[in-house]
Amino acid sequence: MLYLHSTRLTTTKLGNRLCTNVLMGRKRSTKAAYVVFIGRTRGVFTSWSECEAQIHGYPGNSQKGFESAAEARTAWKEFRRSTQWTPSLTPLEIPDRLPAQDLLTKNIDLFDPKEHQASSRKRNFEAMNTPSPLEPASEPARYKKSNQNATTREIAKPNKSPELKLEPSDPTYLQKGELANGEEPASVKLTSEQQAVVDMALTGANIFLTGAAGSGKTVTLREMIRRLQKRYQSKNNSDHPCVQVVAPTGIAALPLDGKTTFSFAGWNPDSLQQPMERLLANVRKSTREAVDRLRVLIIEEISMVENQFLERLNRLLQSILMSNAPFGGIQVILVGDFHQLPPVKPFENCIECGEMMVHDKVIAPVWDKLKLRFVKLEQIHRQKDTGFQGVLNKIRNGQVLENSEWDELERTKELPPQAVATRLMSLVNDVTRFNNRELGRLNTQVRSWKAFDVSNKKRTEDADKFDPRCQMIAQKCQEFKDALMKYHRLPTDLNLKVGAKVVLLSNLSPKSGLVNGSQGEVVGFADTTTWTSKDDEGTYQRECADQFTTMNSFWRPVVRFANGQTKTIPHVVQSSTKISGEDRYHVARTQIPLTLAWALSIHKSQGMTLQYAEVSSRGLFETGQLYVGLSRVTSLEGLIVTGFSREKTVMDPDVIEFYEKTAWEDLSRSDVSPSTESKTEAAAPNEWWKGDYVPLFVGKAHPAQVKYPQLPPFKTEICDSDEEDSQDEQG
């Protein structure tokens, strides 16, 4: 059996600094080589100083000295073989720990692991000392045994996180780990109208599901997905699900385990400048495989998907499935509310020639072909106050509000002392500036956490160690890390002070009402040196967490939430698997799930439920933004409204007309779920091959002039290498 010699550092708590004085005072080792089994970077080192750098202050560290480098290498090999350990983290520059000058808050209720993750072992918390503010605590901290004696068994424990099919540079999946962190949304009982929609989906109908903000579209969709997945369970494949959710933004796709529309199609924004013909000639192998298995395509936030993009998706699926049926004959469910946010750009690229054209239609022509069943949820759940619901509905319908209604909206509200009215703004730069300015105004000490990002190939093979594989893998890893920086919802740099207004970005404790979107204020920082890791935390998760703590500190912000609860906020590891060709990569960001919340962008707030918000007319430039802003809050008492012209309506008249003219299904009818309209038979799953396939694209004509000639079937060429295009995807 391999013997592990642990230095067993006596860690002295000097605030947040681990003082390794026992180690420092000990005789220096004079061995020829050292193996670091547990440390910042593991492996063989030929000098004590290098070895020491890896273990100094590293919790549960373990090393052993050897008389020769050969012996050390053998021991290292044996260790790796016996533990099946593969290098998972890149070596890091470890900054010096910050001096402990944090304010510890008295009598705070620390993070409760039982609430956070049902199966997790209870964390051991030491009673917190409460030294005078800005003074280091002087009691020595002891790691709990389970942490200090990290064993080889623990290191070898395979990462049990589910493998997810990912596309390179897909922001959606970079955030995927969120739900894997025990963040199950609190369950609700579906209303009869919501249930009717779920039942309708199970008949195989193509559906457009809409409803006012807060009417439970997302809740309904979740149940729909669950039921559909169950139906197709046997045909499922971990890489290519039969039920695929796609959304135009990562933030919308994330909570539903979806992909971005671009990622699903294997395109990037530049791809849209190419004629459709060329896109179809270069379909990626992974896209083709995914579409081949697909039975149901769910497009969330459909109002933000450009019409030409939807048409492109239609033709992509037709081409791959070689069927003229809309979307190649699979079931399509469109979800969204056109009263909320439209596509980000007012223009789009023509599908035939790639030229820029104005986005001037509410819905895409392909909607007709889909023979959709139009369903609208009527009951609003986010707001209980019917008066407020009425005001929101008026804005939604483009009606001018009465003066008394404006008075009610603009009335000065008395918010609870700890409440944070988040200012909802249009421009991200304004949001950042506003938050930084407010943070700068606080006279308390700033504490910072840098996100720990990691990307590495799973299962290193011998060929990976040599060029060109070696270089290619390094480049891929860098690409994934760059994408984390660019897209991840958790901030790269989190700067907080006592007094900072924050919003929670994960479902910390749904039972206690601490969920994604909960608002609060930082009231102190807690030293979490004595926290032990969770039993069910995978090795990879634990390593990320260790590295994050080593890079930053053991201090974690303590937040008093608007509902009166005070919690210490632990870091979260949001990890995902990404696939490039045959290779799989681990990609993860570790960070504290908070963001400054004096202000938030309206786009970011879409789908969120906030208790307190301030919406001002300044900078609102899209129809629907006022509606999205106002409809985020649960009650009028939590809403501050300033600066709006009382006369103007701010809803797109085309949207209003579309909603007025559409014949919505009556969801209260008991016979509503069986398909009342004849759903396209050609669209039934597995029957696409029955019809003759006619490719629906020609040359460079503008859509208005397109005639669809009867051409022989178009053969889609498969681009075997995902690598060629992967750099483009950064666009």
Provide the binding-site residues for ligand ATP, judged by CB under 6 A. 188-191, 194, 211, 213-219, 337, 381-382, 607, 609, 631
Q: Of the two residues 553 and 609, which places its CB atom closer to ligand ATP in the complex?
A: 609
Strand partners, 576: 587
Taking the complex as a whole, the smallest distance from the CB of residue 382 to ligand ATP amounts, in Å, to: 4
Q: Of the two residues 539 and 609, which places its CB atom closer to ligand ATP in the complex?
A: 609
Q: Of the two residues 247 and 280, which places its CB atom closer to ligand ATP in the complex?
A: 247
Q: Of the two residues 190 and 523, which places its CB atom closer to ligand ATP in the complex?
A: 190
Alpha helices in 1-127 (DSSP H): 21-25, 48-55, 69-83, 113-116
**Nearest-angstrom CA–CA distance, 227 and 217:** 15
Do 358 and 349 form a contact (C-beta atoms < 8 A)?
no
Question: In which region does residue 459 sit, left (phi positive, over 0), alpha (psi from -120 to 50) or beta (all else)?
Answer: left
Q: Of the two residues 223 and 537, which places its CB atom closer to ligand ATP in the complex?
A: 223
Residue with tokens 């030294």: 131
Q: Of the two residues 335 and 494, which places its CB atom closer to ligand ATP in the complex?
A: 335
Q: Of the two residues 55 and 219, which places its CB atom closer to ligand ATP in the complex?
A: 219
Taking the complex as a whole, the smallest distance from the CB of residue 379 to ligand ATP amounts, in Å, to: 8
Q: Of the two residues 133 and 510, which places its CB atom closer to ligand ATP in the complex?
A: 510
Could you tell me how far CA 295 lies from the centroid of its own chain?
24
Strand partners, 80: none
User: Is the bond leading into 346 cis (omega within 30 degrees of zero)?
Assistant: no
Q: Of the two residues 164 and 225, which places its CB atom closer to ligand ATP in the complex?
A: 225
Q: What number of CA atoms fall less than 13 Å from residue 93's CA on the CB side?
A: 2
Taking the complex as a whole, the smallest distance from the CB of residue 425 to ligand ATP amounts, in Å, to: 18
**Nearest-angstrom CA–CA distance, 155 and 626:** 52
Q: Of the two residues 349 and 625, which places its CB atom closer to ligand ATP in the complex?
A: 625
Taking the complex as a whole, the smallest distance from the CB of residue 657 to ligand ATP amounts, in Å, to: 20
Taking the complex as a whole, the smallest distance from the CB of residue 611 to ligand ATP amounts, in Å, to: 11
Residue 12 backbone phi and psi in degrees, to 5: -105, 125
Provide CB contacts within 8 A for 285, sequence distance 6+: 718, 719, 720, 722
Do 266 and 259 form a contact (C-beta atoms < 8 A)?
no
Q: Of the two residues 217 and 447, which places its CB atom closer to ligand ATP in the complex?
A: 217
Q: Of the two residues 22 and 188, which places its CB atom closer to ligand ATP in the complex?
A: 188
Provide CB contacts within 8 A for 682, sequence distance 6+: 323, 324, 325, 329, 688, 690, 691
Q: Of the two residues 223 and 521, which places its CB atom closer to ligand ATP in the complex?
A: 223
By C-alpha distance, which of 120, 162, 292, 186 is closest to 584? Answer: 162
Running DSSP on this structure, what letter comes out for residue 216? Answer: S
Taking the complex as a whole, the smallest distance from the CB of residue 25 to ligand ATP amounts, in Å, to: 57
Residue of minimal Cβ distance to ligand ATP = 216
Taking the complex as a whole, the smallest distance from the CB of residue 185 to ligand ATP amounts, in Å, to: 7
Coil vs helix vs strand at 561: strand
By C-alpha distance, which of 17, 203, 192 is closest to 99? Answer: 17
How much is the CA Rg of the chain, to the nearest whole Å?
Answer: 28
**Nearest-angstrom CA–CA distance, 295 and 557:** 45
Token pair of 388 as six digits: 């407020």
Taking the complex as a whole, the smallest distance from the CB of residue 316 to ligand ATP amounts, in Å, to: 27
Q: Of the two residues 263 and 609, which places its CB atom closer to ligand ATP in the complex?
A: 609
Token pair of 267 as six digits: 């395109």
**Nearest-angstrom CA–CA distance, 675 and 404:** 45
**Nearest-angstrom CA–CA distance, 564 and 611:** 13
By C-alpha distance, which of 215, 222, 286, 216 is closest to 254? Answer: 222
CB atoms within 10 A of CB 112: 17
Provide CB contacts within 8 A for 440, sequence distance 6+: none
Token pair of 695 as six digits: 């490719």
Could you tell me how far CA 612 lies from the centroid of its own chain?
23
Q: Of the two residues 166 and 302, which places its CB atom closer to ligand ATP in the complex?
A: 302
Taking the complex as a whole, the smallest distance from the CB of residue 260 to ligand ATP amounts, in Å, to: 18
Do 159 and 541 form a contact (C-beta atoms < 8 A)?
yes
Taking the complex as a whole, the smallest distance from the CB of residue 632 to ligand ATP amounts, in Å, to: 7
Q: Of the two residues 75 and 209, which places its CB atom closer to ligand ATP in the complex?
A: 209
The helices-and-strands tally (H runs, E runs) of the chain is: 25, 29
CB atoms within 10 A of CB 302: 22
Q: Of the two residues 51 and 602, which places its CB atom closer to ligand ATP in the complex?
A: 602
Taking the complex as a whole, the smallest distance from the CB of residue 52 to ligand ATP amounts, in Å, to: 52
Q: Of the two residues 328 and 398, which places its CB atom closer to ligand ATP in the complex?
A: 398
- The helix (run of H) or strand (run of E) holding residue 449 is strand 447-450
Taking the complex as a whole, the smallest distance from the CB of residue 472 to ligand ATP amounts, in Å, to: 41
Could you tell me how far CA 410 lies from the centroid of its own chain?
34
By C-alpha distance, which of 503, 494, 496, 472 is closest to 601? Answer: 503
Taking the complex as a whole, the smallest distance from the CB of residue 191 to ligand ATP amounts, in Å, to: 5
Taking the complex as a whole, the smallest distance from the CB of residue 634 to ligand ATP amounts, in Å, to: 8
Taking the complex as a whole, the smallest distance from the CB of residue 214 to ligand ATP amounts, in Å, to: 4
Residue 567 backbone phi and psi in degrees, to 5: -135, 150
Coil vs helix vs strand at 325: coil
Provide CB contacts within 8 A for 689, sequence distance 6+: 322, 323
Taking the complex as a whole, the smallest distance from the CB of residue 389 to ligand ATP amounts, in Å, to: 12
Residue with tokens 């908070």: 594
* Helical pair 307-321 and 285-293, crossing angle rounded to 10 deg: 80
Taking the complex as a whole, the smallest distance from the CB of residue 505 to ligand ATP amounts, in Å, to: 16
Taking the complex as a whole, the smallest distance from the CB of residue 343 to ligand ATP amounts, in Å, to: 16
